[in-house]
Amino acid sequence: MKHGGDLTQAMAEFGGAADEWLDLSTGINPWPWPIRKLPDSAWQRLPSRADEQALLAAARAAYRVPEAAGIVAAPGTQALIQLLPRLAVDGAVAIVGPTYNEHSAAWSDAGHAIAAIKDLSELPAHVTHAVIVNPNNPDGRVTDPDRLVEVAAVLQRRGGWLVIDEAFADVDAHISAVASCGKLPIVILRSFGKFYGLAGIRLGFAIGTPDVVNGIRHVLGPWAVSGPALSIGARALNDAPWAMQTRVRLAAQVIKLDGILLNAGFEVVGGTSLYRLARHPEAAALHRRLAQKYIWCRSFDWSREMLRFGLPHDAEALDRLAAALAP
Amino acid sequence: MKHGGDLTQAMAEFGGAADEWLDLSTGINPWPWPIRKLPDSAWQRLPSRADEQALLAAARAAYRVPEAAGIVAAPGTQALIQLLPRLAVDGAVAIVGPTYNEHSAAWSDAGHAIAAIKDLSELPAHVTHAVIVNPNNPDGRVTDPDRLVEVAAVLQRRGGWLVIDEAFADVDAHISAVASCGKLPIVILRSFGKFYGLAGIRLGFAIGTPDVVNGIRHVLGPWAVSGPALSIGARALNDAPWAMQTRVRLAAQVIKLDGILLNAGFEVVGGTSLYRLARHPEAAALHRRLAQKYIWCRSFDWSREMLRFGLPHDAEALDRLAAALAP
Whether B137 contacts B99, CB under 8 Å: yes
Contact A32 B44 (CB under 8 A): yes
Mean per-residue pLDDT over chain A, rounded: 96
Q: How far apart are CA B16 and CA A57, in angstroms?
A: 23
Q: Report CB contact under 8 Å: A222, B45.
A: no
Position with higher pLDDT, B37 vs A139: A139
Q: What is the Cα–Cα distance from A162 to B295, expressed in whole angstroms?
A: 48
A29: closest chain B residue by CA: B44
DSSP-assigned beta bridge partners for residue B309: B276
Residues of A in contact with B227 (CB under 8 A): 199-202
Q: Which domain holds residue B245?
A: 8-32+241-325
Residue A130 C-alpha, separation from nearest chain B C-alpha, in angstroms: 21
Return the axis-axis angle of helices B283-292 and B315-325, rounded to nearest 10°: 120
Of B78, B222, B226, the CB nearest to A223: B78
Whether residues B220 and B74 fall in one domain: yes
By percentage, how much of chain A surpasses pLDDT 90?
A: 94
Which residue in the set B3, B18, B43 is minimally distant from A198, CB to CB? Answer: B43
Work out the average pLDDT over A291-310: 96
Question: What pLDDT, in 10s, does the model give residues A141-180?
Answer: 999 999 999 999 999 999 999 999 999 999 998 999 999 9
pLDDT at A281: 97
In angstroms, what separates the C-alpha of B320 from chain A's closest C-alpha? 20
B16 at the A interface (CB within 8 A)?
Answer: no
Label residue A1 by pLDDT band (50, 70, 90): very low
Q: Where are the alpha helices (DSSP H) in chain B?
A: 7-14, 40-44, 49-63, 77-87, 102-109, 145-157, 210-220, 227-237, 240-263, 283-292, 315-325
Q: Are A194 and A69 in a shared domain?
A: yes
**Domain final position from B196, B220, B238:** B238
- Give B206 to chain A, closest Cα distance, Å: 16
Are A45 and A155 members of one domain? yes
* Per-residue pLDDT reduced to its tens digit, A119-133: 999 999 999 999 999
* Torsion from C-alpha of B189, B194, B199, B203, nearest 10 degrees: -30
A224/A222 Cα distance (integer angstroms): 6
* Per-residue pLDDT at A4: 60
pLDDT above 70 (res A2): no
Name the pLDDT band for A5 (thresholds 50, 70, 90). low
Residue A30: pLDDT over 90: yes
- Boundary of a domain, candidates B238, B256, B289: B238
Identify whether the C-beta of residue A2 lies closer than 8 Å to the C-beta of residue A25: no
**DSSP per-residue letters across A104-165:** HHHHHHTT--EEEESSGGG--TTEEEEEEESS-TTT-----HHHHHHHHHHHHHTT--EEEE
Nearest CA in chain B to A6: B48
Residues of chain B with Cβ-Cβ distance to A102 below 8 Å are 221-222
Residue of B222, B230, B50, B38 whose CA lies nearest to A21: B50
Instruction: List CB contacts (< 8 A) between B48 and chain A.
Output: 5-8
Whether the Cβ atoms of residue B277 and residue B139 lie closer than 8 Å to each other: yes
A7 neighbourhood in chain B, CB within 8 Å? 48
What per-residue confidence (pLDDT) applies to A7? 87
Note whether A162 and A304 are same-domain residues. no
Distance CA A208, CA B2 (A): 27
- Is A1 contained in some domain? no
User: Domain of B63: which CATH number?
Assistant: 3.40.640.10
Asked if residue A169 belongs to a domain, the reply is yes
Of B46, B109, B221, the CB nearest to A82: B221
Q: How far apart are the first and last CA of chain B?
A: 25
Q: How far is the C-alpha of B257 from the C-alpha of B321, rounded, in Å?
A: 9
Same domain, B146 and B204: yes
Same domain, B245 and B230: no
Give which of A45, A77, A191 to mutate to test B binding, by max B Cβ within 10 Å: A45
Residue B73 in any domain: the answer is yes
Within a domain: B3:
no
d(CA A274, CA A312): 10
Q: Which H helix or E strand runs over A289?
A: helix A283-292
Distance from CA of A170 to the nearest CA of B (A): 17
pLDDT confidence of residue A327: 81
Nearest-Cα residue of chain B relative to residue A11? B50
Please answer yes or no on whether B26 and A45 come within 8 Å at the CB atom.
Answer: yes
CATH number of the domain encompassing residue B321: 3.90.1150.10
pLDDT in tens, B165-218: 999 999 998 999 999 998 899 999 999 999 999 999 999 999 999 999 999 999
* A3 in any annotated domain: no
Check whether B220 has a pLDDT greater than 80. Answer: yes
What is the distance of C-alpha A272 from the center of its chain? 11
For residue B1, what pLDDT band results from cuts at 50, 70 and 90?
very low
For residue B50, the chain A residues in CB contact (below 8 A) are 8
- Check if A35 contacts B (Cβ < 8 Å): yes
Among residues 197-216 of chain A, which lie with CB inside 8 Å of chain B?
Answer: 197-202
In a domain, A130, yes or no: yes
* Residue closest to A225 by CA, chosen among A260, A265, A254, A192: A192
Check CB contact of A48 with chain B, cutoff 8 Å.
Answer: yes
Shared-domain flag, residues A196 and A315: no
Confidence of residue B327 (pLDDT cuts 50, 70, 90): confident
Same domain, B180 and B127: yes
Q: How far is B150 from chain A (nearest CA, A)?
A: 32
Same domain, yes or no: A16 and A76: no
Give the residues across from B96 on adjacent strands: B117
Q: Which among A40, A199, A222 is the nearest to B3, CB-wise?
A: A222
B231 lies in the same domain as B308: no
Length of chain B: 327
Statement: residue B2 has pLDDT above 80 = no
Q: Does the pLDDT value for residue A137 go beyond 80?
A: yes
Are A199 and B42 in contact (CB < 8 Å)?
no
CA pair distance A232, B226, nearest whole angstrom: 13
- In this structure, is residue A2 part of a structural domain? no
- Whether the per-residue pLDDT at A245 is higher than 50: the answer is yes
* pLDDT per position as a tens digit, A260-276: 999 999 999 999 999 99
Q: What percent of chain A has pLDDT over 70?
A: 98
Q: Torsions phi, psi of B310, nearest 5? A: -80, 175
Indicate yes or no: CB of B202 within 8 angstroms of CB of A224: yes
Q: How many domains does chain A have?
A: 2
Same domain, A254 and A233: no
Could you tell me whether strands B22-23 and B295-296 are parallel, antiparallel, or unpaired per DSSP bridges? parallel
**What is the number of CB-based contacts under 8 A between chain A and chain B?**
155
Of A185, A210, A238, the one marking the end of a domain is: A238
Asked if residue A112 belongs to a domain, the reply is yes
Mutation pick from A202, A217, A311 vs chain B, by most beta carbons of B within 10 Å, is: A202
Give residue B3's pLDDT band: very low, low, confident or very high (50, 70, 90).
low
Using a CB–CB cutoff of 8 Å, tell me whether B223 touches chain A. Answer: yes
Q: Are residues B201 and B304 in the same domain?
A: no
Please tell me the predicted confidence (pLDDT) of residue B118.
Answer: 97
Substitution target from A8, A226, A231, A296 for chain B, most B beta carbons within 10 A:
A226
